[in-house]
Amino acid sequence: MTHDIVQLLSQLVAINSINPDLVPDGAGETEIAAFVAQWCRAAGLEVEIDEAAVGRPNVIAVARGSGGGRSLLLNAHMDTVGVAGMDHPHEPEIKGNRLYGRGSYDMKAGLAAILMVAAQAKQLNLRGDVIVTAVCDEEYASIGTASVVKRVHADAAIVTEATAMDICTAHKGFIWLEIETQGKAAHGSEPSLGVDAIAKMGSVLVGLEALGRELQAAPSHPLLGAGSIHASLIIGGQELSSYPERCVLSVERRTVPGESPELVSAQVQQILDRSGNADPQFKAALRTLLVRDYSEIAADAPIVQLLQQHIVAAGRQPRIFGAPWWMDSAILSAAGIPTVIFGPGGEGAHAVEEWVDLDQVRECADILLKVVQDFCG
């Protein structure tokens, strides 16, 4: 077992854990999960391997409390994105105060920090449980955290995604929709027989663009601003010489707190209804493909207050902010666990050059340990 956080982080970065659903020959999380589980056992933690799917393990490690205290869940993902264009992605390199390598910043630094904190918490004989969930598949479909919340619950959670020592209390959700317009296939020379499904999508696209402008003009959330909508993919037609019988448009809607899946689909349905009222030949269907919740925690929630207090005590003035991108915190929040996001700084998530600030990694672990002591003690 390593007692030095930089050494532990180096060991984690050295293990290839590319998400295999993102990159076809990705190594997956089996090797890194075995390392994490072994490390946690050596630290005296209770360890359980939770297979979210075949070959996709989570590690759940608990510094069991003596009883009667609040429990805190610390969550970090083990998987990374691909390494195209990188020279030696899995040979961690320390230059000055930076550690370079794939996953150093997103988010093996956060993983190293919570492992160190749980190991130290074990020595402190706290009353509440400290639960580490090192999860798979955050970079693709989040089956890891989705599986974890079926097994563990806690009074609060911290996801240690990189925030440059600021406090992230909210992030946007997203919803994928599909709109299909129906036409009538016919020979291209027979306008009286054919109905052009692609042309019928025209008024839908105009309506979506207008809805996007309306949303942007009325920001409703103090940290996240406005929701948004955009067209992503469009497919239609059989061949050049025929009227197309169908056209399928994929649409992405990014949501802010207060925007439910029902509201989102009603807004788009209204566009389809308007087109239908204006054009008796217009026929369309709307489907919701995927819903990913937004995440939000009140700034005066105990875990946020405690975190803020200890960051300030460390001499910083943390910003409370909302992130536009999606994180596993939404799954924890939806499971009824008040969840905040806090981690170190660096650069290059998903980029060719990725590094994390080692002073901030150490500082992050120190702050988290104090939060754990106060929350679970």
Footprint of Zn ion on this chain (CB under 5 A)? 106-107
Three-state SS letters, the chain: CCCCHHHHHHHHHHCCCECCCCCCCCCCCHHHHHHHHHHHHHCCCEEEEEEEECCEEEEEEEECCCCCCCCEEEEEECCECCCCCCCCCCCCEEECCEEECCCHHHHHHHHHHHHHHHHHHHHCCCCCCEEEEEECCCCCCCHHHHHHHHHCCCCEEEECCCCCCCEEEEECEEEEEEEEEECECEECCCCCCCECHHHHHHHHHHHHHHHHHHHHHCCCECCCECCEEEEEEEEECCCCCEECCEEEEEEEEEECCCCCHHHHHHHHHHHHHHHHHHCCCCCEEEEEEEEECCEECCCCCHHHHHHHHHHHHCCCCCCEEEECCCCCHHHHHHCCCCEEECCCCEECCCCCCCEEEHHHHHHHHHHHHHHHHHHHC
Distances (CA, A) of 355 to 51, 139, 324: 30, 18, 22
Q: Smallest distance from the beta carbon of 76 to Zn ion, in angstroms?
A: 8
Q: Smaller CB distance to Zn ion: residue 106 or 166?
A: 106
Q: Smallest distance from the beta carbon of 58 to Zn ion, in angstroms?
A: 15
Q: Smaller CB distance to Zn ion: residue 50 or 106?
A: 106
Q: Smallest distance from the beta carbon of 360 to Zn ion, in angstroms?
A: 16
- The span from the CA of 298 to the CA of 53, in Å, is 33
- The span from the CA of 18 to the CA of 230, in Å, is 29
Q: Smaller CB distance to Zn ion: residue 44 or 82?
A: 82
- The span from the CA of 155 to the CA of 129, in Å, is 10
Q: Smaller CB distance to Zn ion: residue 35 or 105?
A: 105
- The span from the CA of 272 to the CA of 207, in Å, is 8
Q: Smaller CB distance to Zn ion: residue 149 or 341?
A: 341
Q: Smaller CB distance to Zn ion: residue 13 or 197?
A: 13
Q: Smallest distance from the beta carbon of 336 to Zn ion, in angstroms?
A: 23
Q: Smallest distance from the beta carbon of 246 to Zn ion, in angstroms?
A: 37
- The span from the CA of 95 to the CA of 88, in Å, is 15
Q: Smallest distance from the beta carbon of 328 to Zn ion, in angstroms?
A: 8
Q: Smallest distance from the beta carbon of 330 to Zn ion, in angstroms?
A: 13
Q: Smallest distance from the beta carbon of 287 to Zn ion, in angstroms?
A: 29
Q: Smaller CB distance to Zn ion: residue 106 or 129?
A: 106
Q: Smaller CB distance to Zn ion: residue 243 or 294?
A: 294
Q: Smallest distance from the beta carbon of 362 to Zn ion, in angstroms?
A: 20
Q: Smallest distance from the beta carbon of 370 to Zn ion, in angstroms?
A: 24
The candidate with the shortest Cα–Cα distance to 330, out of 157, 205, 209, is 157
Q: Smaller CB distance to Zn ion: residue 106 or 293?
A: 106
